[in-house]
Amino acid sequence: MACQSASAVMDEQALLGLNPNADAPYRQRALAYFEQLKQSQDAWEVCADALAKGIYSDDHVKFFCFQVLEHQIKFRHAGLTAPQQQLIRETLMKWLQTQLMITQPEKAFIRNKAAQVFALTFVMEYLTLWPKFFFDILNLVGLNPHGVDIYLRTLMAIDAEVVDRDILHTPEETRRNTLIKDSMREQCIPSLVESWFQILSAYQRTHPELTCQCLEVVGAYVSWIDLNLIANDRFVNLLLGQMSMEDLREEACDCLFEIVNKGMDPVDKTKLVESLCQVLQSAGFFNIEQEEDVDFLAKFSRLVNGMGQSLVLSWTKLVKSGSAKEAAETLQAVEAKVPLLLQLLLHEDDDISANMVGFCYDYLHVLKQLPQLTEQQKANVEAVMLAVMKKLTYDDEYNFENEGEDEAMFVEYRKQLKMLLDRLAQVSPELLLEAVRRVFTSTMQTWQAAPFMEVEVAIRLLYMLGEALPASHGAHFSGDTAKTSALQDMMRTLVSCGVSSYQHSSVSLEFFETVVRYDKFFVVEPQHIPNVLMAFLDQRGLRHNSPKVRSRVAYLFSRFIKTLHKHMTAFIEDILTRIQDLLELAPPENGFPALLTSDDQLFMFEAAGVLIVSGESPMERKQVLMRSLLAPLMDAFRLLLAKLLQETVEERQVTLADALSHAVGFASRTSKAFSNKQTVKQCGCTEVYRDCLQNFLPALSCPVQRGVLRGAVRSFLHRMIICLEEEVLPFIPAASEHMLKDCEARDLQEFIPLISQITAKFKCQVSPFLQQIFMPLVLAIFEVLGRPAEENDQTAALEKQMLRRSYFSFIQTIAGSGMNEVLANQGAENVERVLFTIIQGAVEFPDPIAQKTCFIILSRLVELWGGKDGMVGFPDFIYKHIVPACFLAPLKPTFDLSDAQTVLTLSECALTLKMIHLKRGSEFIQFLQHEYLPSLQVSPEISQELGQVLQQPDVKVLKNYIKAFFQRAKL
């Protein structure tokens, strides 16, 4: 044994800190002691000694000792001396020996940690130092329950280290693990399997928890060992016996599932599954209705699903390989499982049912591939269909108003059933359509007396047909007459049978969802629109007593209006009158909850806008209607803004600012109704939106709640630039002035896209304004970027990075819009300052997105000013700064040529060089070859080569060459 270190006793004071209730100083000391033991060459040996001799009874100290050993094995094993490695082996075996003699086993967390340490030692030493690992352990523990427990836990820990596919391993670890498995197969797996058989036999009646542990081990190892060792009469009979023992049946089921799941030859797999099924059936396990234990059935259904999917996989492989006879036999085996599949799919417990979805889906996929279905197969399809329809139904306990975890699980389960329904539609669309029609029609005839879940599922099935039966762009009511007439009949029944009055939120929601899904039906039969509109507008929809229904209906109403507004001309003003109270801005001081939330109201304003704009009224009438929609918002806005300016309590300020923001948002949303065919001008609405601007802009100078107010007004300006066109321009200078006052990085970052939008849209029209605002904006950006920030303040760093990007995008927009005079007229000093920031952006900051933008700007400026009649002094700038930037940026260590975004930056860099050559010609080539490249120690041959590539017309050749050039330079 290795000699003990000088400090052969442990630091008792430090150990006190291991107790979870210890004071902070003790805990700190314990941590420091742990680090000391981890790093020391031999101090850790006291932990080995403590474990081997059982010196400490405190669980936390034992755990600590194992942690110290774990660190040595995991991170320092190669550096340990041979005696130290021997010490670890001896310590583990001595500790294990003590476990055989104690009456009370160690706590589970200590046994698990010990098993982990055993497993790590095994991984490090099995192939070299400890090939007899398993034999040593088995010889020591025999059938001692405490010893067997550690042995089984160790096997599971080895599985986690060596086999578990969910854990990522390095290529080196993967190679090592493969070698370990190969050696185990050769040397010890038969002995391990024999030990499992002995444990399962010996303990199945006396120690169920050990037997379950052993079954888990068998299930884990079966995927990579010789299956014949397990799939034999002796072992399978033992497992089947345990399927009848209450404490063991669930684990036995899981173990059989892993056996069935093992990859193998398709014919052998079919034989294995069939023999297993035969035994299970004769033992009475297929009599599901007699089984009351749902936990066991959940495991059993998973096993049946695994058997079914294995058979389908075998069938697929056999069909591919052309083995017709074997494929037919396997298909027969699949078909024989369908009655059991249906029984489990229909089980009242959804977990058991959900376990069968995989097999059911795969079976339907098989049927889809067959040239034609037998009568039995058609009957199976119909039975699956009825099962899915039945299982889609809500149960009494579903809580619609306060959905929790159970409800979320049912929603997920419904999604799985929907997959089956879609697959059924692919196998036999006619059968599905007919089955849904039958259920739907009979339910709608008696909806007044039917329970809500039956009514909901009948409408839900009609809704689901919309996705299950293919139709391009929702054209369900044209083309195939059988389908269209069936769907049309069902829709006619839905909207005319009065079911929209059913008093349950789930039915109400399903009604409106279905009406909107099949909105094209109303193009074919527009006479039903008034009835459906009334349902939307009264207590069945927007005034329903459930907020959840009202909220969803607001969205669906806007979709319904947007699709069918052409058919509503006669009702426009009536609808607007009926929804007037839903368009009121909820006053913040009113304690009554509004019918709709502000988010829901957005949809209502959009719908109102669409009705006004797309109606056939004369322009004057549209103008009046739009003003009556927007004027209340403007009035409320003025009042609330005045209140906000006087309010001192922050909580009230927040409420008022939110209400102001909503008012602007609502006005903005109405403008979505306009299009190229129906512009603001053509509808005579320019003036009312200008009035809105007039009313909203003063909020920009409000000293409180600036973020919320500026954000709202800025969004409104974005919309108005699109809708009002040049009519918006008079408002921009004052708005910009306010938005540039007391800016933060985020304010500027969000303001720049507004200016860029104006620049791109109006170009020369806004040139004078841009020339005026350019330097104030740029100086505001420089000021914010120059502010000091904490070194590790990630948020500030990210905000600055985003602002820098926005700044470069702004310069790019100006240069790209051909408005070089905006930049040129800023005075030589300012122009130079801006140009240097672009060079800096291209070279200094490791941000490929910003760098790419900078090279695009430089290329554009070379194009504008780099020729013979360009800006005075600019050619000099090209040679002194732009050309070096094109080489210095890619040479930076942070310029990662394996990153896709960086490669795009390099492409722009190459295009900049190309543009310089276009503008300066041979003078540029001379400069590169005789001055610049020699200064970088580039050989004359490579300089010559680059010069030739630059003169070629094909840009792609240049891009590829530049990439190779810098890859070589970085080696």
499-543 pLDDT, tens per residue? 999 999 999 999 999 999 999 999 999 999 999 999 999 999 999
Residue 153 token pair: 């836990």
Window from 177-181, 457-461, 953-957 with minimum mean pLDDT: 953-957
Q: Is 657 exposed, middle or buried (0-12, 13-18, 19+ CB in 10 A)?
A: buried
Q: How far from 286 is each of 297, 341, 518, 823, CA to CA, in Å?
A: 10, 10, 43, 83
Task: Evaluate whether 462 touches 440 at the Cβ level (below 8 Å).
Answer: yes
Q: How confident is the model at residue 5 (pLDDT cuts 50, 70, 90)?
A: very low
The whole-angstrom separation of Cα 354 and Cα 392 is 11
Distance CA 530, CA 567 (A): 10
Q: How confident is the model at residue 13 (pLDDT cuts 50, 70, 90)?
A: confident
Chain segment 719-774, per-residue pLDDT in tens: 999 999 889 999 988 888 888 887 777 888 888 888 889 888 888 888 888 888 88
**Separation of alpha carbons 92 and 113, rounded Å:** 12
Cα(811)–Cα(859) distance, integer angstroms: 12
pLDDT reported for residue 7: 40
Asked if residue 816 has pLDDT above 90, the reply is: no
Confidence band for 474, pLDDT divided at 50, 70 and 90: low
Q: What's the whole-number mean pLDDT along residues 40-47?
A: 84
pLDDT given at position 450 = 96
Question: Scanning the structure block, which residue is given the tokens 């999604």?
Answer: 415
Question: What span, in angstroms and rounded, lies between the C-alpha atoms of 883 and 891?
Answer: 13
- At residue 380, the pLDDT reads 96
**Angstrom distance (rounded) from CA 405 to CA 463:** 25
pLDDT for residue 18: 82
pLDDT at 119: 97
Of 377-391, 480-494, 628-642, least confident by mean pLDDT is 480-494
| 148 φ, ψ (degrees, to nearest 5) | -60, -40
In angstroms, the CA 245 to CA 296 distance is 11
- Let me know if 614 is exposed, middle or buried by CB neighbors in 10 A (0-12, 13-18, 19+): buried
Tokens of 3: 């000699």
**Three-class secondary structure of residue 954 per DSSP:** coil
- Residue, of 216 and 827, whose pLDDT is higher: 216
C-alpha to C-alpha distance for 362 and 420, rounded to whole angstroms: 10
Token pair belonging to 9: 């006793």
Average pLDDT for residues 153-168, to the nearest whole number?
Answer: 90
| CA 749 – CA 781 distance, rounded (Å) | 9
- The tens digit of pLDDT for each residue in 403-421 reads 899 999 999 999 999 999 9
For residue 252, give both structure tokens: 């036995």
| Least confident residue range of 350-359, 582-591, 776-785, 931-940 | 582-591
At 548, is the pLDDT very low, low, confident or very high (cuts 50, 70, 90)? very high
d(CA 647, CA 653): 6
Non-local CB neighbours of 785 within 8 Å, separated by 6+ positions: 745, 800, 803, 804
Is the per-residue pLDDT at 288 higher than 90? no
Q: What is the pLDDT of residue 717?
A: 94
* All structural domains of the chain with their residue ranges: 8-122, 264-396+405-427, 827-970
Per-residue pLDDT, averaged over 309-313, amounts to 97
* Per-residue pLDDT at 588 exceeds 70: no
pTM summary value:
0.80
Query: Residue 585 gets which letter from DSSP?
Result: P
Is the pLDDT assigned to residue 636 strictly greater than 90? yes
Q: How far apart are CA 559 and CA 888, in angstroms?
A: 55
Report helix, strand and coil shares of the chain as percent, to nearest 5. Answer: 75, 0, 25
Task: List, in order, residues 6 or more apart from 309 with CB less than 8 Å away.
Answer: 358, 359, 362
Q: Which residue has the higher pLDDT, 476 or 576?
A: 576
SS3 readout for 796-858? HHHHHHHHHHHHHHHHHHHHHCCCHHHHHCCCHHHHHHHHHHHHHHHHCCCCHHHHHHHHHHH
Cα 573 from Cα 385, distance rounded (Å): 46
Assigned token pair, 215: 């079954």
**Neighbouring residues of 87: CB distance < 8 A, sequence distance ≥ 6:** 1, 2, 45, 48
CB 830 within 8 A of CB 839: no
- Percent of the chain beyond pLDDT 90? 66
Tell me the three state secondary structure of residue 752.
helix
Q: Token pair 């193998």 is at which residue?
A: 264
SS3 at position 768:
helix
Of 760, 743, 747, 688, which Cα lies nearest the Cα of 713?
747
Give the per-residue pLDDT at 222. 94
pLDDT in tens, 905-932: 999 999 999 999 999 999 999 999 999 9
Q: What is residue 943's three-state secondary structure? A: helix
Among 14, 15, 28, 65, smallest CA distance to 44 is for: 65
Give the pLDDT confidence of 433-443 residue by residue, as tens digits: 999 999 999 99
In a 10 Å sphere around its CB, with 0-12 CB exposed, 13-18 middle and 19+ buried, how is residue 840 labelled?
Answer: middle
CA-to-CA separations, 867 to 169, 574, 836, in angstroms, rounded: 58, 66, 20
CB 766 within 8 A of CB 729: yes
Q: Do residues 951 and 925 lie in contact, with contact meaning Cβ atoms separated by under 8 Å? A: yes
Q: Which residue has the tokens 């200016």?
A: 755
Q: 29 versus 387: which is more confidently predicted?
A: 387
With 60 as the cut, is the pLDDT of residue 828 above it? yes
At residue 713's C-alpha, the angle toward residues 707 and 719, to 5°, is 135
Q: Which residues contact 449 (CB under 8 A, 6 or more apart)?
A: none
**Residue whose tokens read 């295009």:** 911
Task: Please name the residues in contact with 762: beta carbons below 8 A apart, sequence gap of 6 or more.
Answer: 726, 729
* 93 pLDDT more than 60: yes
> Strand (E) positions, 656-709?
none
Most trustworthy range by pLDDT among 211-220, 581-590, 725-734, 954-963:
211-220
The contacts found for 179-187 with CB under 8 angstroms, 24 or more apart, are 179/127, 180/123, 180/126, 180/127, 181/224, 183/126, 183/127, 183/131, 184/126, 185/225, 185/226, 187/131
Q: Tell me whether residue 20 is exposed, middle or buried, using C-beta atoms within 10 angstroms of its C-beta: 0 to 12, 13 to 18, 19 or more.
A: exposed
If you average pLDDT over every residue of the chain, what do you get?
Answer: 91
Say yes or no to pLDDT of 2 above 50. no
Q: How confident is the model at residue 6 (pLDDT cuts 50, 70, 90)?
A: very low
Determine the average pLDDT of the residues in 368-387.
94
Q: What is the DSSP string of 930-941?
A: IIIHHHTT--HH
